[in-house]
Structure formats: C-alpha cells, structure tokens
C-alpha cells in the first residue's frame, strides 16, 4: 500500500463542522433521553417507538466521520506520541472524571435502594458488574472505542489515504453488521472495538477530497437525498423489527447495515445543509464534549426523580411523545447550562476546554 499521508489538504477553517457537530450531539442526547421501552410487537406504539429511535441513530457515526475529517491535519502536524498525549490531556482526563462521577452516583443509588427495598443488591459483585456496564454499555463506551480507533489509524498512519486500507476497515465494519443477526460475539455496538474505525478513515477521505465532495453535494438535488433518507429510514425500521423477532440482544444497534446507510445519507443531508444558524448560539466547539460527558448523568439520576410518579409508557401516543420531546429539550438545555457554567469557571478543563 502506498504512503499517502503527506497528501493531506492544506489547513482550512471548516466552520460548518461545528454546526454539524452540534446537531449530531442533539441526536445523541435525544436517543438517550427517549429511554428503553418494550411495546407489543406490531402495535402502533411499537412502530412509533422504533421509528422515533431510528430518527436519532445517525449521531454516533456522524461524530466518527467528523473526527476523521479533522484528523489528517493533526496526523501531519504532530508525531503519534504528541497526538496521543494531546488527546489524553483534552479528552481522556475529563472522561475519567465524569465517568467516575457516574460510578459514584450509581453506587450511592444502589445503597439507597438497598436501604429502601432491602434487596441485598449493595454488594461488591453487583457493584463491579454495574461498573462494567457503565464502561461497556452506557455512553461512556464511546471514548474507549474512539481512542482505540485513533490509535489504530496512528499505527497505520502512512496508509491513511490508501483505498486498500479502507477496504480492510470496511470488512471489519461489515462483520459487525452481520454479527448483529448471528451473534457469534457480543453484538452490542458499544463493544464493537473495530467497527467504527472505517468511519474515521472515511471522514479523512472526505476532507482530502473536500472540493470534489462539496461540488457533488451542491449538484445533488434535495429530492434525491430526501428519497434516499426515507428509503434507508424505512429499511432501518424494518431491520429493527426483524431483530426484535429473533430476540436480538441489541436490535437498535447503530452498526446495523441499514442504520449505517441511514447515517451516511443523514450525514450527506447535513453536508448539503452545511450551516444551521441556531447552532452558533450554542457554542458547539466549547460545549459539545461537556454535553456528551454530563447528559447521561442527568438522564440516569435526575429524570427518574422527575418522573417517579408517572407511568409514561401507558400514556396515549401524542402524550407519550410530547413528554419525550419536552424531556429531550429539558435534558439538553439543563446539561448545556451546566457545561456553560463549568466553561466559565476555573474547572473548565473538566469538560476539555
């Protein structure tokens, strides 16, 4: 494979990246805020629920694409050691802090419930199991996967722009898309260590060929993108239903083949729109990472207290989704203002600022 790393494009200011980053984080907050529900298969609530969830599923892949878009420039400006050290100081440290905050809150929660319900759950074995869940199956999985993916690209950095290297990474992703149905290994996307490296690589290709990509997006009709989005959305909902029917462990998996297609088309739509005016007021460059780190704490430990006396899943469909939309907005805004407060304090490094 040819060494193509020095063919990276000159450094430019891509303001639209911040705008797309903000929308992608909103999608991730929305996905987590909706929560996990089980409705009768085939019922109206069932179809509405899996459709609502699928609408939010582009966020994770969008973030890997954005990271890849920006990564080639950093690979040429820093040595691998310098780059990893920089990542650890701005990304890993805050992640460790907030994930530990989550763990401590979880332990306190288990202790309180044990005192109320006398369920004997406050023991070392259960606590260790819950810690494992935090790092493998909550939003805190992302940084582990991201840093491993970055490291893989660093190891093979000389092949960053090689189509053959990209094909190998795509094969790993395709393995995970198939494994979701057969479950040869844990099918959860949060443990798919090699499943997302391809999207980093693909993002780097988008940046290297940005002028051509931008030209194609300008020439592509809105109708074509919207039709593709609807088709991949429908296919994604269908695949969720198939996985539910076979009792899949993770039927909403981000790496479902149909969901990958949906995410790529959704990302193309975001590139077509390019700039969302409202996002500049939300300061995405300063707040996005903090929102990622903190929003799940709000969802896990604040929302249950807000809805403690409500049985939301028994509500009529319009009421259910009105509550969910308001919840999404509330979680995002509460987290946003917490992050803004931290960013203006001496502790701003805790959110990577």
Burial of residue 13, with CB atoms counted within 10 A of its CB: 0-12 exposed, 13-18 middle, 19 or more buried: exposed
Nearest to 300 by CA among 145, 98, 125: 98
Residues 6+ apart with CB under 8 A from 133: none
Grade residue 73 by pLDDT with cuts at 50, 70 and 90.
low
How far apart CA 256 and CA 243 sit, in angstroms, is 10
How far apart CA 341 and CA 337 sit, in angstroms, is 6
pLDDT at res. 6? 44
Grade residue 345 by pLDDT with cuts at 50, 70 and 90.
very high
How far apart CA 339 and CA 291 sit, in angstroms, is 7
pLDDT at res. 270? 96
- Count of residues in the chain: 353
N-term to C-term CA, the chain? 38
| pLDDT higher than threshold 70 for residue 15 | yes
pLDDT at res. 307? 84
Mean pLDDT of the chain: 90
pLDDT at res. 5? 42
- In degrees, to the nearest 5, what angle opens at C-alpha 25 toward C-alphas 344 and 254? 150
| pLDDT higher than threshold 90 for residue 78 | no
Q: Percent of the chain having pLDDT more than 70?
A: 93
* Mean pLDDT value of segment 282-294: 93
Q: Enter the pTM of the model.
A: 0.91
Residues 6+ apart with CB under 8 A from 25: 59, 63, 284, 288, 291, 292
How many other CB atoms sit within 10 Å of the CB of residue 123? 11
Grade residue 79 by pLDDT with cuts at 50, 70 and 90.
low
How many other CB atoms sit within 10 Å of the CB of residue 290? 25
How far apart CA 82 and CA 88 sit, in angstroms, is 10
How far apart CA 224 and CA 344 sit, in angstroms, is 44
How far apart CA 197 and CA 169 sit, in angstroms, is 6
* Mean pLDDT value of segment 156-170: 94
Q: Percent of the chain having pLDDT more than 90?
A: 66
How far apart CA 230 and CA 13 sit, in angstroms, is 32
pLDDT at res. 136? 87
């Amino acid at each position: 494979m040819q060494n193509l790393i020095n063919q990276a494009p000159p450094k430019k200011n891509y303001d639209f990246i911040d705008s797309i980053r903000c929308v992608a984080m909103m999608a991730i907050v929305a996905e987590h805020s909706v929560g996990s529900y089980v409705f009768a298969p085939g019922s109206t609530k069932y179809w509405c629920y899996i459709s609502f969830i699928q609408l939010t599923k582009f966020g994770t892949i969008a973030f890997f694409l954005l990271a890849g878009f920006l990564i080639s420039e950093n690979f040429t400006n820093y040595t691998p050691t310098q780059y990893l050290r920089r990542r650890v100081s701005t990304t890993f440290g805050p992640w460790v802090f907030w994930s530990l905050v989550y763990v401590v809150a979880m332990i306190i929660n288990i202790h309180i419930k044990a005192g109320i319900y006398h369920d004997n759950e406050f023991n070392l074995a259960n606590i260790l199991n819950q810690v494992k869940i935090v790092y493998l199956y909550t939003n805190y999985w992302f940084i582990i996967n991201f840093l491993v993916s970055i490291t893989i690209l660093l190891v093979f950095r000389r092949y960053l722009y090689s189509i053959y290297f990209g094909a190998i990474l795509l094969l790993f992703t395709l393995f995970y898309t198939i494994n979701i149905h057969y479950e040869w290994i844990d099918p959860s996307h949060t443990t798919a260590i090699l499943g997302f490296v391809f999207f980093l690589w693909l993002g780097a290709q988008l940046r290297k060929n940005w002028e051509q990509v931008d030209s194609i997006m300008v020439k592509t009709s809105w109708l074509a993108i919207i039709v593709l989005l609807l088709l991949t959305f429908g296919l994604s909902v269908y695949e969720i239903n198939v996985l539910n029917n076979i009792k899949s462990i993770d039927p909403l998996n981000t790496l479902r083949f149909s969901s990958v297609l949906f995410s790529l088309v959704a990302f193309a739509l975001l590139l077509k729109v390019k700039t969302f005016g409202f996002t500049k007021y939300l300061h995405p460059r300063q707040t996005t990472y903090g929102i990622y780190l903190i929003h799940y704490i709000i969802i896990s430990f604040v929302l249950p207290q807000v809805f403690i006396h409500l049985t939301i899943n028994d509500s009529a469909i319009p009421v259910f989704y009105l509550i969910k939309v308001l919840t999404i907005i509330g979680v995002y805004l509460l987290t946003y203002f917490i992050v803004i407060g931290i960013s203006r304090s001496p502790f701003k490094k805790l959110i990577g600022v």
